[in-house]
Structure 1
Amino acid sequence: MTYVFIAIGGALGACLRYFLSQQALIWFGKEFPFGTLLVNVLGSLIIGFFYTLIAQGYVQLIPWRTFVGIGFLGALTTFSTFSMDSLLLLQQGAWIKASLNILLNVFVCLFAAWIGSKLVGFKF
């Protein structure tokens, strides 16, 4: 059953990643890897929120960690693409864009994970 949860979550995450990446191209163009940044920030927000739900006992660890944490978020977010985007920018001599990409992915994603964890206690 574990692999079924991973597979279903992964399929959903991969489809959302593709959709958001395509939308980012339409919205922002190709001059900067906004699609990768978008999915990484969104994934960080979700993981902060979701793992806080688990830690506080609102959501059971099994099967949800496997479905969301490994499957869905594993397919949605992409450190390898972030790394390649940054390397390509560096190879093109776009030092400012590469630096911005690295800083945004690291710091905005950390901030998004923190915000996600804080949303658990927020009353909508």
Structure 2
Amino acid sequence: MTSVPERLPSPPLSPMATALLIGLFGAAGALARYGISSAASLLPGPFPWGTSLANVLGCFLFGLIWALSEQRALIPKPLGLVLLTGFVGSFTTFSTYVFEAEVLLQQGLWLILALKIIGQNLLGFAALAAGFRVGWWGGER
């Protein structure tokens, strides 16, 4: 069994440096999402491959970065936060949704987990419909 390396203290990033790095990694994540969606649009059929691939890959990346930063100490915590918030956050927010659900599952908070999953999905559909209605208000459909 391998041991976890001792975490070396990582210098904190200034708020300005953190914001700048999140913006840069966010731009990279958005471009990566666009690239995957563009490539997936070449696949046949009506299935939304681009979104599905981005969501699954984003979940993998979230787990990998979290483990390398928080568990194995191979990525400094400030950089892990910037990567998760900037790159993965703009690549897909589904990964954060799944991660939060996993934390609730591990904590045995079944009712809160059910409320999160059912509530966010139902409210998401309702908010989408409301946005459509507000956007169409006064116009023709």
TM-score by length of 2: 0.52
Among 15, 20, 23, the residue aligned to 2:39: 23
Looking at secondary structure, tell me which structure has more helix per residue. Answer: 1
Report if the CA contact (8 A) 2:36-2:50 is conserved: yes
**1:46 positional shift:** 0.8
Among 59, 62, 75, the residue aligned to 1:47: 62
Percent sequence identity is 35
| Higher RCO (CA < 8 A, seq sep 6+) | 1
Indicate yes or no: 2:50 matched with 1:35.
Answer: yes
Residue-pair matches, total: 81
Indicate yes or no: 2:15 matched with 1:6.
Answer: no
- CA offsets per residue over residues 39-83 of structure 1, 9 Å max, x none? 0111111111111011221111013311x100001111144xxx7
TM-score by length of 1: 0.59
Pair 1:36–1:78, CA change in 2 (3 A): farther
Matches within 5 A, 1:1-124: 1-29=17-45, 31-54=46-69, 55-66=71-82, 68-79=83-94
Provide structure 1 residue ranges, at least 5 long, that are not aligned to the other structure: 88-124
For 2:65 and 2:25, how far apart are their aligned partners in 1?
A: 14
Report if the CA contact (8 A) 1:43-1:76 is conserved: yes
DSSP-derived class of the 2:43 partner: helix
Tell me the C-alpha RMSD between the 2 structures. Answer: 2.1
For 2:50 and 2:65, how far apart are their aligned partners in 1?
A: 22
Amino acid at match of 1:35: G
Higher Rg of the two aligned structures: 2
